[in-house]
Each structure stands twice: as C-alpha cells, then as structure tokens.
Amino acid sequence: MVIVKTIIELKNILRKSNQSIGFVPTMGALHDGHISLIKKARLENEIVVVSIFVNPTQFLEGEDLDKYPRKDEADKKICELCDVDYLFMPDINTMYNKDEVTINAPKTKGYILEGFKRAGHFDGMLQIVLKLLNIVQPTNSYFGKKDAQQLSLITQMVNNFYIDTNIVACDIVRESDGLAYSSRNVYLSKEQREKALSISKSLKKSAKSIGEGQRDCKTIKNNIIEYLDNIDGLEIEYVEIVDKEFNKIEEIELKNTIILIAVQLGSTRLIDNIWI
C-alpha cells in the first residue's frame, strides 16, 4: 500500500493506469462499515483508493470537528490489511484555498431532514466529494446507505454535473446487537448504548408491520415515535418516511421507500434508516 499526501502525486500515479479504480472516501476512524465498502471495492476493481480527510466545511459551528475521532495509525493498518492500493491522506491546505468557488446543495432536498437542523452541512459535503471525485476519477465510488440523504445528493450531483463515475450504494453494516456502525458510537456510555438499540429495534418493528400488510406511513411513523418516546434520555429529532428521491409519501412503496430516524442521546447524535 502506498500512502499519498499530495494531489499531484495521486493524479500522476492513477493517470498511468488503464485499470478500473474503486474509490472509498472516508473521514477516518474506520470501522466495519467502512471495511465492508473497501472489501466491495476490492472485489469489483483492479485498483482501490481510500481517502481519509476530516472535512471542516461540513461541520457547523458548535459541532464536533475538534473532537471527531482520529485514528490515523489504526486506519493505515486497516487499509493495509484490506489490500488497499493507495491511501490518500491530504491536509486542509491541500484540499482548500482561501477564496474558493463553492457548490450549493439543492434548495429543497439539501435543506430537509439532515439539512434542516444542519443548514449548510451538505454544501460542504458535496464540495469535498466533488473535489475527491475529480482527483481520483474512479470507475466506481462506494457510499453507505446509512447516510441515505448524503448518498442521494451525491448521486444527484454526479448526474447533474455529468461526472463519469458509477455510484455504488452499499448496505448498512450493524454491530452484533443491531446498532448501526458509526464513528460516533465511541461517544456513547454503556447505558446510552443500550438505549440506542431502540432505534434499530423500532425500524425492525416497522419492517415487520409492513411485511404483515401495513402501508400507511402516518401509522408507521406514529408507532416509531410512540416507541422511542418511552426511552428516557432519548430525544427524537425526526422520524420520516420518504421515497428514494426524498419526497414525502403517504403510503409505503415497496422497493422505493426509506424510513429515517435521527435522535440525540446526551451529546451524541445518531442516525439510522431502513430501505423497504
């Protein structure tokens, strides 16, 4: 595995290759969710590139940029064990200039749900992903379904700007107790972690009710809220049911529905979802 720090070096390396490139952009603190993306990229491409960059422009004032977990040495070892070819680890001065052309998220889809409370978050996320895609120019780019709205916006950006890469949506990976993998899980106390399991349990209950014939979104949403409201210390930020284009729907559309949840547990914000 080669660790690359500069854009010029990475572009020069990749330009010489006529092989397929699989790309996994991350903010580090790698866990089994990231590893699943890397393994899929390894299986489907001749060259695998992983980037690690904690992107400051997608953190809002008062969010956990400074506290965001950084585990560079462990991340390097994980990438090496996963047979990554090139690990791109730029610094902020490499990725950003003082006065930049910027990109804005869509006025509707970029400012609902995750974008409502965190206005501007998706602007910064799309900015860095666009930069990374232009640098790597991957054949296939791998993103997790856990960040469903992010995945939808990246897919839209790739289509709107005619970027020549295939976006591969990868299933959510969960810990043995059902908690969706997240770099922020390390912030949870033992008691909070137990309470966090109610999120995935509520989604499973919803999936079961849909399997039994329930199709009314309002009923399903109210059942989730009622279940989570009984968890002491868990604050619901939103529960929403949308289609894959993030339009609100009144009835479940099989193979075209996402149920999304965001909660606050102490100082830790958690999101999860299920694709129906």
The catalytic residues are: 34
**What is the rounded distance in angstroms from the CA atom of residue 41 to the CA atom of residue 170?**
10
Q: Nearest to residue 109, comparing CAs of 220, 271, 218, 242?
A: 242
Q: For residue 206, with 0-12 CB atoms within 10 Å meaning exposed, 13-18 middle and 19 or more buried, which class applies?
A: buried
Reduce the secondary structure of 158-225 to three states and give it as a string: HHHCCCCCEEEEECCCECCCCCECCHHHHHCCHHHHHHHHHHHHHHHHHHHHHHCCCCEHHHHHHHHH
Burial class (CB in 10 A: 0-12, 13-18, 19+), 110: buried
CB–CB of 273/214 below 8 Å?
Answer: no
37, 72, 117, 119, 153 from 108: Cα distances, Å: 29, 36, 13, 11, 11
In the numeric block, which tokens belong to residue 275?
């694709």
13, 29, 102, 122, 188 from 183: Cα distances, Å: 30, 6, 27, 19, 11
Helix residue spans in the chain (DSSP H): 7-15, 32-44, 72-81, 92-95, 114-117, 121-136, 148-160, 190-211, 217-229
